[in-house]
Amino acid sequence: MRLAGVNYPSRLALGPMAGYTDAGFRRLAREMGLELAFTEMISAKAVVYENEKTFTYAVSHESDHPLGLQLFGSEPHIMAEAAKILAERYPYEILDINAGCPARKIMRNREGSALLRRPSLLFDIVSAVKKAVAKPVSVKMRIGTTKNTINAVEAARACEAAGASFITVHGRTADQLYTGRADWDQIVKVKQSVSIPVIGSGDIFTLEDAVEKMDRYKVDGVMVARGVIGNPFLIRDIVNWFAHGKGPKPVSLEERVKTAKKHFDYIAEDKGEYRALLEFRSHAGRYFSGIRGSSVLRAKLSSTESKEELFALMEDLFKG
Ligand SMILES: Cc1cc2nc3c(=O)[nH]c(=O)nc-3n(C[C@H](O)[C@H](O)[C@H](O)COP(=O)(O)O)c2cc1C
Q: How far is the CA of 237 from the centre of ligand 1 (A)?
A: 20
Q: Which of 244, 274, 299 corresponds to the end of one domain?
A: 244
SS3 track for 19-40 = CCCCHHHHHHHHHCCCCEEECC
Per the rule left: phi > 0, alpha: psi between -120 and 50, beta: everything else, 290 is left
Q: Which of 208, 227, 244 corresponds to the end of one domain?
A: 244
- The rounded distance, in Å, linking the Cα atoms of 264 and 180 is 32
Structural contact between residues 222 and 210, judged by C-beta atoms closer than 8 angstroms: yes
Co-location of 86 and 181 in the same domain: yes
Co-location of 138 and 113 in the same domain: yes
Residue 320: pLDDT band with limits 50, 70, 90: confident
Q: Is residue 40 within 6 Å of ligand 1 at its C-beta? A: yes
Co-location of 118 and 262 in the same domain: no
The domain in which residue 271 lies consists of: 253-319
Co-location of 160 and 303 in the same domain: no
Minimal-distance CA residue to ligand 1 atom 30 = 17
Co-location of 227 and 290 in the same domain: no
Summarised one tens digit per residue, pLDDT across range 176-208 is 999 999 999 999 999 999 999 999 999 999 999
Residue 70: pLDDT band with limits 50, 70, 90: very high
Co-location of 184 and 305 in the same domain: no
Residue 293: give its domain's CATH number: 1.10.1200
For ligand 1, pick from 71, 167, 226 the residue to mutate: most ligand atoms within 8 Å of CB: 226
Taking all residues of the chain, what is their mean pLDDT, rounded to a whole number?
97
In total, how many domains does the chain have?
2
Summarised one tens digit per residue, pLDDT across range 72-128 is 999 999 999 999 999 999 999 999 999 999 999 999 999 999 999 999 999 999 999
Co-location of 182 and 276 in the same domain: no
Q: Which of 218, 244, 270 corresponds to the end of one domain?
A: 244
Q: Is residue 100 within 6 Å of ligand 1 at its C-beta? A: yes
Per the rule left: phi > 0, alpha: psi between -120 and 50, beta: everything else, 9 is alpha
Q: How far is the CA of 312 from the centre of ligand 1 (A)?
A: 31
ipTM of the complex: 0.99
Structural contact between residues 47 and 77, judged by C-beta atoms closer than 8 angstroms: no
List active site positions. 101
Residue 233: give its domain's CATH number: 3.20.20.70
